[in-house]
Each structure stands twice: as C-alpha cells, then as structure tokens.
C-alpha cells in the first residue's frame, strides 16, 4: 500500500529570509553603490524596500506597520537609524542594508529572556512574605 502525500496548499507562504531580501537589495543597487548599500533619496529607498519580502503581505511585520504614504515610509526609515543627512540641501543617505536588518529585527527578534537571578529573587521575596496564622 502506498500513501500519497497531500498536495501542498497554495495558501501557505514561506517565511521571508534575510539572504533572499539582501540579494534583492544588492541586485537593485547601481554597481557603484552596491558595496556600500546606500541610496541618495527616499524615493529610491522606497522603491527598493517595497520589493523586500519582509515588508510583503504575508510577513510578520506587516500587521505592525502602516506604510501607505511617502511620509509613513520616511518616518519608518528615520526610526530605523538608517538615514543620515548628506552635504547639500534635501539630500539624504539611506543605508539600505542597515534598514533591512532593522526590518528583520523588529519582525522576528525575540525579547530577552528574564534573568534566572531575577526570577529567584522574586520567588524568595514572595516566599518571605509573612503568611497570616490561622486561628480557629
């Protein structure tokens, strides 16, 4: 008797990977800037970032963000720490690899685990509370 596997559902999508998004980033940058991964305008940064799977419809990051307008994107870039002002009026440098790392950090990074010492201190503190005596 042979057991056939269930056909894979098309509703499942794969989890975005940093390496695939980094490859997209590297391929979309001009050859002269691909080593530094920087772009000189928000419009260019938005065009590149909007291709990242981590910012796609099925990403864990999508429910946490609202990226509808250009202002939403600019605020997100600035919050990521990937933006630095360049010399000249209205010119910015956006470090796209730094931005990509930030996206993956907020999408998938786990919060730090509580320290065992802190948990033990809390237990000792709770145990040391005076328990009222029962009187009948």
DSSP string, 32-83: TTTTTTEES-HHHHHHHHTT-GGGSTTSSSGGG----SHHHHHHHHHHHT-E
3-class DSSP state of 100: helix
Question: What is residue 35's predicted lDDT score, i.e. its pLDDT?
Answer: 65
Question: What is residue 95's predicted lDDT score, i.e. its pLDDT?
Answer: 95
- What is the pTM assigned to this prediction? 0.69
Q: pLDDT tens across 16-59, in order?
A: 789 999 999 999 887 765 567 899 899 999 999 999 999 988 88
pLDDT higher for 117 or 61? 61
Strand ordering across the sheet containing 38-39 = 38-39, 92-95, 83-85
Q: pLDDT tens across 47-66, in order?
A: 999 999 999 888 888 888 88
């Amino acid at each position: 008797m042979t057991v056939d596997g269930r056909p894979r559902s098309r509703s499942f999508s794969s989890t975005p990977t940093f390496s695939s998004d980094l490859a997209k980033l590297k391929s979309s940058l001009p050859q002269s800037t691909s080593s530094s991964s920087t772009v000189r305008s928000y419009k260019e940064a938005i065009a590149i970032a909007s291709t990242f799977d981590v910012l796609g419809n099925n990403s864990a990051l999508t429910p946490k963000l609202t990226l509808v307008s250009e202002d939403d994107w600019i605020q997100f870039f600035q919050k990521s720490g990937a933006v630095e002002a360049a010399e000249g009026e209205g010119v910015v440098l956006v470090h796209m690899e730094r931005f990509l790392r930030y996206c993956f950090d907020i999408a998938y990074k786990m919060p730090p685990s509580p320290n065992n010492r802190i948990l033990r201190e809390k237990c000792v503190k709770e145990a040391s509370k005076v328990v009222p005596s029962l009187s009948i």
